[in-house]
Chains A and B, each alone.
Chain A
Amino acid sequence: MSMINYASREINCKIVYYGPGLGGKTTNIEYVYDKVAPETRGKLISLATETERTLFFDFLPVDLGTIRGFKTRFHLYTVPGQVYYNASRKLILKGVDGVVFVADSQIERRDANVESMHNLYDNLAEHGLDPRRMPFVIQYNKRDLPNTSSVTELEQELNPTSAVSFEAVATRGAGVFDTLKAVSKQVIKQLS
């Protein structure tokens, strides 16, 4: 639900990184923060526990600059992945324009991925949204680890509708910007 502010000539779009706990959502955003030019990004806000687990959300605004007179900005959010933080996840999805689902490729996280994907569908439905009809990208993270499911298996389990997907190693940045680029372009297309 982008808001176009014709008075201040601003467009802000909200992208939410979703997925199971410890899957790498915060790592994605931290990598973006580290690598984009400092003048294009705002402050990285993390509402985290003492052990650095996301408690409420991480937030990073990234400026695209002024496009045809409109200052265009993406607001990147992560949700807390742990199952019991569902109330927080629902709140953060309010007004979302695009979703990135960060799956953990490790075999032992298969059930957690599937559960989180179901939870995403349920929570989006409460906002009247459906991943099949909105900007949506899946990222298979942690591809560098030895005990991973194959991408074919992950696609079968998590991506029956053939959403755009990427392999990633977010700790090293592999796939991070491909993912962000894909979802942000889908969001832009929706506005024009």
Chain B
Amino acid sequence: MLEINNLHVSIQDREILSGVNLQVRAGEVHAIMGPNGSGKSTLAAVLAGRDIFTVTKGTVVYKGVDLLALPPEERARLGLFLGFQYPVEIPGLTSVNFMKAAVNEQRKYKNLPPLSSGEFLKLMRQKMAVVEMDPSFVGRGVNVGFSGGEKKRNEIFQMAMLEPTLAFLDETDSGLDVDALRVVANGVNKLKTKDNAFVVITHYQRLLDYIVPDIVHVLNKGRIIKSGSKELALEVENKGYDHIINAT
């Protein structure tokens, strides 16, 4: 589904990713861990199409398409989703109108007619239930006045609305209390099928108790230095990154 080969990425001449290789297949859950500044968020942002980064070397092929050649909206329409570490507040734009625009663009791409207001509201209600979200949120400005936990819940809600085939969740667990973490993780688990894949970027093993990964990667200084089974996350938790960095 996704194949990243020798990806090098810079921002203002400073190299952040120095040769990332990663393969994600349908039905898999990957976890990417790594110390602060190792390039985890950059990897997710580059894949989603954030244009402040420059790709200096390497290729990314997603569903057989050169992903890096596409603008962000086309990547999204191909089923790529990024759950933001810091979801953006948009005062004046309600979640309803935002999601209506997003869902109908996606339907247009699939040659489907736009949803009627009734159908759309029904879909919203269904998906809000997935993340146990208070219905009053959708009439408010996107992320405006939301707590940290509510913002992350809103990311999962948007993901549920768009049903992506490949989702990158960038530190969706940071700032969450135990209950919110469970809700967010359950949301992901409910959306998981054999045809889609998730890449979870996290600092903590805690999330991986709820979302069980097939493969765990450790990213350091812009490279994946170790990949392994879910036990690797426990090793990180118990011994720290230094231990793994020194051992490689």
Our verdict on whether A and B bind, yes or no, reads no
**Which residues of chain B have a CB within 8 Å of any CB of chain A?**
none
